[in-house]
Amino acid sequence: MLARSDRSFLRPSRRAAALAGPDGEWPDLVAMPGRRVLPAGRLVSVVDTSSSVDAATLARFLGALSAVATAEGFDEIRLVQADAAVTRDVPPYVMAVGRPAVPHSVNSEGLKRRGFTTAQIQNIRRAYRVLYRSGLKLNVALEELEKAAATQAEIRPFVEFIKRSERSIVR
């Protein structure tokens, strides 16, 4: 059975219709194009957010980017501002801006679009505040986040990302 992430062309184009037999059956020598889309990981795109791009064009671009990510099996999309200087890792859910990039806030709208509940978004915001607004050192903040992640599954990707970071995170 085909799943949403499967793509298959069930019939060849009209140009190849001459290959079909009188009963409409396709000969064995005809290869039917198709493929299965597997999860591809992350998609990163650089976006020009200056005034040279109007809101309608930006909206069309983001819609097309979302369609590509869905069709190709990307788990997440990372958008980078065209003139940002990202020299350290940016954790999931976090928006970072500037030169050098600094954490700005949680991408609440993106989380809503991905189906996160209000309670889950609040938990992610609390985790953001622990990491960026509490004044705690990274190792102490990470301990606090690990405690929260034990009962709040939405915090786990945040914690795991910080643990795996090789360049440290934006702070």
CATH code of the domain covering residue 123: 1.20.1180.10
| Residue 93 located in a structural domain | no
Q: Is residue 134 part of a domain?
A: yes
Is 51 a member of any domain?
no
pLDDT at 122: 95
Is residue 153 domain-resident?
yes
Neighbours of 104 (CB within 10 A): 13
The gap from C-alpha 103 to its chain's centroid, in whole angstroms, comes to 18
Domain presence at residue 136: yes
Residue 118 belongs to what domain range?
106-165
Neighbours of 150 (CB within 10 A): 11
Name the pLDDT band for 1 (thresholds 50, 70, 90).
very low
| pLDDT number for residue 33 | 46
Q: What is the pLDDT of residues 101-154, one digit of tens each?
A: 888 888 888 888 778 899 999 999 999 999 999 999 999 999 999 999 999 999
Domain tally, the chain: 1
Which residues sit opposite 6 in a β-bridge? 36
| CA 72 from centre of chain | 12
Q: What residues contact residue 29 under an 8 Å CB cut-off, 6+ apart?
A: none
